[in-house]
Copies of this chain bind each other. A is one copy, B any other.
Amino acid sequence: MNAEAIKRSLESGGLRCTPQRYAVMAFLTECKRHPTAAEIFEAVNRVDPRSSRATTYNNLRDLVQAGLVREVAVEGRAARFDAKGMRHHHFICDRCGNVEDIEWYNVRRPASRSLGKRILRECELIFRGLCIKCAQRRASG
C-alpha cells in the first residue's frame, strides 16, 4: 500500500494523519510478522520522526478502535498487532507464542438461540499447536 492509500485509510477511520500515526500504520501494513507494541515503537523510531512509547500505545489504541488494526492477545505475552488487510485466521504457537496468518475461510455463526440478546460483531477463529520451527525442534530434539 502506498502513502496516499494509508493516508486515506486513516482519514476514513476518522483519524488525522499525523507523522507518528502514519509511521505506525505504514509499518504494520508492510510488516508480515505480528509485532508487539515494543517492536513497533522500536521500528518506527529507527526512522524519523521519533515517537514516544505513550504515543505508540495511543495510536495503536486509536487504530484498533477505528477498525484498521487488529490486536491479538497471547496468553502470558505482550499483545501483537496487524493491519486488517485481507481477511485471515490466526495460528498461535503453544511454545513460542508466534502468531501466523492462515488462509481465510468462512466460519459458521452460532445459532441465534445461543447468542441470545448479545450483539455479535465478529467471529474469530484461532488455531493452536506448534509452528513449523517448534514442531521441527520437538521432532529432532
Q: Are B111 and A118 in contact (CB under 8 A)?
A: no
When all copies of this chain in the complex are counted, the total is 2
Question: Which listed residue (B94, B105, B121, B123) contacts A110, Cβ 8 A?
Answer: B105
Which residues of chain B are within 8 angstroms of A7 by Cβ–Cβ distance?
none
Kindly state whether residue A117 has any CB partner on chain B within 8 Å. yes
Minimum CB–CB distance from A28 to chain B (whole Å) comes to 16
Partner of A125, one of B79, B111, B124: B124
Q: A124-B126, A125-B124 are in contact. Are A118 and B132 (CB under 8 A)?
A: yes
CB distance B118 to A129 under 8 Å?
yes
Instruction: Tell me whether A66 is interfacial, beta carbon within 8 Å.
Output: no
A116: shortest Cβ distance to chain B, in Å?
Answer: 6
A 74-91 binary contact with B (CB < 8 Å = 1; else 0): 111001000000000101
